Amino acid sequence: MYVNAGLGNGMYLSMGNVLANPKVGILFIDFEKPNRLRISGEASVMRDDPLISEYPQAQFVVRVAVSEIFLNCPRYIPKLQRVSRSPFVPAPGRETPFPNWKQIDFVRDTLPERDRRKALEMPAIDITDYIRTIERSNDRRVATLHCSWPSVRCGKG
């Protein structure tokens, strides 16, 4: 089994974990059915795998030598419906949009070099402006963001 590893957040936590301990458990969840499949095995991370060219913007290919595959009880999976694909999923023939959270003033200097250069070419925004942008888009994730920033009051307004 193989999985491509794309741009992510640049922190490489998952890839670092695999390099430190290659034993992995991967849970595949289908929210529309609902269904759940678990795969266990040993992973290896490769930057020069021949499959990397098949995935736009992939940085690694993770190959897993599968030791177990089993169904996992789906009873607590909420039934959801995919309305549209995120524009941030890399696709052939188009540039992936640059996420505006990378323009937040205190985030810009912590980004990997490829993103830092691009972020510094754009105007900086502060966390309050970022939250307002999300609120204007009626994005439900704003409640999570509000509560995850201790200096920002939870709720709207």
The amino acid occupying position 129 is: D
For the stretch 109-146, pLDDT in tens is: 888 888 899 999 999 999 998 988 888 876 555 444 44
What pTM was estimated for this model as a whole? Answer: 0.61
Judged against a pLDDT cut of 80, whether residue 50 lies above it is answered with yes
| Average pLDDT score over residue span 15-34 | 89
Q: What was the pLDDT predicted at 121?
A: 94
